Amino acid sequence: MTEIPAYWHNFIDGDFCDGGAGRLDVLDPATGETVAEQALADAADVDRAVTAAKAFSEAGDWSGLRPVERGRIVRQMGDYLLQRIDEIAPILTREAGKPLWEARLEIEG
């Protein structure tokens, strides 16, 4: 089975970072086993993320693209996930406690 990363950082303003509120255990619902830890954001982290998102939006890098270009980018992201389905589905199964077939269907969308 594909291993879940031991620690999941937050991703804020282009950087992976720890959370100001510590860490949160990610449990396998089937066993109760801790399978990873997630950075836990505090109010300052949320404010920084919202500020970064607003700045990105106002810069027009995304909204300035034609809808067909935005669609192409989103489609590429979906294709990337599908290419990695054999890696991602087992992780989703373990993290969310759903059957592998259901995880695959969710990724296939």
Give residue 2's pLDDT: 61
Please tell me the predicted confidence (pLDDT) of residue 79.
Answer: 96
Tokens representing 42? 């505090």
DSSP 7: E
List the pLDDT tens digit at each of the 109 positions of the chain. Answer: 566 778 999 999 999 999 999 999 988 888 888 988 999 999 999 999 999 999 998 998 888 999 999 999 999 999 999 999 999 999 888 888 889 999 999 999 8
Q: Can you list the positions of beta strands (E) in 1-109?
A: 7-8, 10-12, 15-17, 23-27, 34-39
Q: How many CB atoms lie within 10 A of CB 88?
A: 17
pLDDT the model gives residue 99: 93
Domains in the chain: boundaries: 1-64, 65-109
* Contact yes or no for 18/39 (Cβ under 8 A): yes
Strand partners, 39: 23
- What is d(CA 109, CA 96) in angstroms, rounded to the nearest whole number? 16
The predicted pLDDT at position 50 comes to 98
Model pTM?
A: 0.72
d(CA 13, CA 91): 26
**CA 33, CA 42: separation in Å to the nearest integer?**
25
Question: Which pLDDT does position 9 carry in this prediction?
Answer: 96
